[in-house]
Amino acid sequence: MPESNRPYRVIISGGGTGGHIYPAVAIANQLKEVNPEAEILFVGAKGRMEMTRVPEAGYKIVGLWISGLQRRLTLDNLSFPFKVFSSVRAAHKIIRDFKPDAVVGVGGYASGPLLYAATARRVPALIQEQNSYAGITNKLLAKRVDKVCVAYPNMQQFFPAEKLVLTGNPVRSDIMNSQSKRQEALQHFGLIGEKKTILVIGGSLGARTINHSIAAGLEKIIQAGYQLIWQTGRLYHPEAQALEEKHKAQDVRAFDFIKRMDLAYAAADIVISRAGALSISELCLAGKPSVLVPSPNVAEDHQTKNAMALVQQNAAILVRDAEAAEKLVPAALQLAQDEQEQRRLRTNILKMARPNAAADIVNELIGLIK
C-alpha cells in the first residue's frame, strides 16, 4: 500500500480542561478525514475530564496515574514522584503495544510522560501549544519533539525557533458554520427570534466571578429585554437553576455544560467569556462581538495576554476579573445596545480567525510520519 494511503497509527495525549481536549479531538477528526482508516488512541489522566469527553467524541482513551504539582504542600505533592515514575513506565508499555507512527501532545498532565516515553523510543512527536504563554509541560518537551505548532506569533521566547509552525488553534468544525444555524439554535434553546441573546461561557469548568456578576445583574439584563444562554460549570449550576426558575417567564437558560456550542454561538448576538485559548479561537471563527474576562488563576496570567492580543486589534472588549462585579453587566449591556460597535468588533475578530488550523497541524504530522 502507498505510504499516503496506509492507515496511520497516532497517539494523542493531554487534557484536563476543554481547552486541551477539544483541540485534540479536532486534530483526530481531521486526521480521520485525510486518512479514514487511521488508528487513533488517546492517553489522558485518570479522573480528569478527558476520560469521559473523548469517548463521547467516539475515540478510545487510556488513563495514566498522573496529576500536577500543587502550589502548597499536599499529600498529592508527596506522591508526585511516584506518579511520574508509574506514568512514564505505563507510557512506555502503551507505546510498545500500540506502535504509533507519531504522537501528539496538546498540554495537560498526561502529555508529559507519554511524549517523554515516545521521544525516548525515537517516535516522531509534535506538540500543540494553545496559549500565547507556553505551559510548563510543553516548554519541557520542546527540546525533545520534532515540531511545535502554535496559535500566536513570537513564541520563540519559549520554543526553539526552527521547530515552530504558526497554525492557530484547531476547533470543532461545526463552529465554523454556526452562522447558518440561527433558526435551529433558537428552537434548540427555546428562545425568541425578535429578542437579542447574550451567551455567557466560563470555560468547561465554570468561572465563579462571571457567574456571580451575571447573577447580581440578572434583573438588569431581563429588564433591558435580553435573553440569556448561561453555561455555569457544574458547581454553580444549582444556584443558576434556581434563578432560572425564578425568572421563568423571561428567557434565561442555564446549563452546567453546553454540548452544542455551535448552536450556542449561532443563537448569540454577543458573548461574555473567559479568555482561554480555545474560547478565543472559537470566538474568532464564529465572529462574535465579545466581552472577555480573563481568569487571574492561570500560570503567568496568560489569559490576559490572550485577551490583549484581541483588544489591541479592536476585536474584543476587556473587563478585568477584579472589576467584573461592578463593570461586566454594564459593559455587556452597552455593547448589546451599540450596533456599530458590534459590527466593528465582528469585522476585526473575523480577521484573526484561522479556519485551517486542524488541517495545517495534520499536514505537519503526516510530514513527520513520512
> What cell numbers appear for 193 in the block?
427570534
131 is in an annotated binding site: yes
> In angstroms, rounded to a whole number, what is the distance separating the alpha carbons of residues 315 and 85?
45
**Of 27, 170, 45, 14, which Cα lies nearest the Cα of 107?**
14
18 is in an annotated binding site: yes
Bridge partners of residue 220, in order along the sequence: none
144-153: long-range pairs with CB below 8 Å, 24+? 144/115, 144/116, 144/119, 145/105, 145/115, 145/119, 146/368, 147/364, 147/368, 149/360, 149/361, 149/364, 151/277, 151/281, 151/354, 151/357, 152/309
Instruction: Give the strand pairing for 164-166 and 147-150.
Output: parallel
19 is in an annotated binding site: yes
| Displacement of CA 272 from its chain's centroid (Å) | 15
Residue whose C-alpha cell is 511524549? 115
The answer to whether 147 and 165 are in contact (CB under 8 A) is yes
| Displacement of CA 204 from its chain's centroid (Å) | 8
> What cell numbers appear for 79 in the block?
506522591
> In angstroms, rounded to a whole number, what is the distance separating the alpha carbons of residues 358 and 173?
9
Provide the residue type at 79 as one letter: S
172 is in an annotated binding site: yes
14 is in an annotated binding site: no
Could you list the residues known to form a binding site for UDP-N-acetyl-alpha-D-glucosamine, using ranges: 17-19, 131, 172, 204, 258, 303
Which residue ranges are tagged as binding site?
17-19, 131, 172, 204, 258, 303
